[in-house]
Amino acid sequence: MNDILKELGYTSLGSRLKRIGELLQAQTADLMEDIGTTGTAVPQNPALAALARHGPMSVSALSKSLGQSQPGVTRMTNALKTAGLVAAVPCKKDKRISLLALTDSGSALVSRLQADHWPAVTRAVTNACADLQGDLLQQLEQLETTLLSKPLAKRQETSWSFQAPALPAFAINGKASAPPAFRRAIWSALTTRQRVFSLGEGTALRFDPEIGAFAATKDDRPESLAALSALLRTRSGPVMLLQADEIALPDDLTAEKTATGVLLIKRRSVTVHRKDFKIQPLGDTDHADMLALAELTKPGPFFRRTPELGTFWGLRIDGQLAAMAGERLKLEGHTEVSGVCTHPDHRGKGLAKLLSARVAETIEARGEVPFLHAYADNEGAIKLYQNLGFDILTPVNVAVVNSRDTAPVL
């Protein structure tokens, strides 16, 4: 069948451009989905970008900025309000006038889009347009052919790769930073809500060894590092340090292992499709199975009394504990999702996603904000958490530390 729009040439240019625009939007949506679900439609991105760039705007001003009709922009922003990404705020000059502004969740999403999605789309489209030649109609024909033969999502191997250490921390007023409590999250936990589990004095603390292996110093002053050394001499080591700040060690301590991770915080509401699995809280009678599953799957430091840190959820299949997840660090107003693991016999069923979502829901039901940690090279886990509404807040440094006189000779 003949392509009527192509045959009509400039007579049907508007319809031809609309067709190509719809193709580009559909393929952009597929590419962005591959990188990580955002919970927004592609046509909404320019509105988010405009509000991020210009600050609070009226519907009329936003409509002019986008070059779109006011009724259409109104419908779009109503959808963004429902998603919790945009809210109405009073105009500072005239309180009677209502403006549109990004919420905290909207700002976090834009930061993520700017870091990952939009650059990937730009590079993929640039790649698709690289060899276009001739007049406008010839270039349009070439572009359609190129997109149909190799969609944008298949161009992302050269347009996007996850490199967590290079990502900026959460942007506040255009400057990269992380809230002070998250610079040293372990220290924040051990000096506030989880003080009952702490050992040590002054400027160096650690969790009770039966609870966890994490330790932290208040800062990098010589007296703080000396206190950490003393802590490891008097308490069983090694310990794990986990912080956004660079890790400094005194001469009598050594790092047996180092790595880079990321700290993610839940900023977006995401609907998780439930499956026919019975998720239930885990208690004392489940401890043996929890320890066995943790020993098998190595989700991170997990000891006999680790379940005392918070609520743990699990599900059983044919009587076997197939997967679990729970709570670990507790900061003021925030609780960490942790201990996420699945038995090898039951992987590929989406159990980790279901349990992570349940733990996050439990935390949010208390009026707190969930956060979590992941190794920077664990792209699968990071994508899973992003699909659950978490965004990267900051890179973190990880080190397993021991006294030199007790460390093994390598």
Q: Which residues, given as ranges, of the chain have pLDDT below 50? A: 157-176, 408-410
Which domains does the chain show, CATH number per domain?
Answer: 4-161 (1.10.10.10), 163-410 (3.40.630.30)
From residue 267, give the alpha-carbon distance in Å to each of 85, 339, 387, 388, 406.
10, 21, 11, 10, 42
Convert the pLDDT of each residue in 336-378 to its tens digit.
999 999 999 999 889 999 999 999 989 988 889 999 999 999 9
pLDDT value for 274: 66
pLDDT value for 30: 80
Side-chain-side CA neighbours of 392 within 13 Å: the count stands at 30
Rounded CA-CA distance 114/149 in Å is 28
Query: Model pTM greater than 0.85?
Result: no
Q: Is 80 helix (H, G, I), strand (E, B) or coil?
A: helix
Rounded CA-CA distance 220/104 in Å is 32
Rounded CA-CA distance 147/114 in Å is 23
DSSP 162-227: --GGGS---EETTEE---HHHHTHHHHHHTTTTGGGEE--TTEEEE-TTT--BEEESSSSHHHHHH
DSSP state of 97: S
Convert the pLDDT of each residue in 108-120 to its tens digit.
888 778 766 777 7
Q: Is 154 helix (H, G, I), strand (E, B) or coil?
A: helix
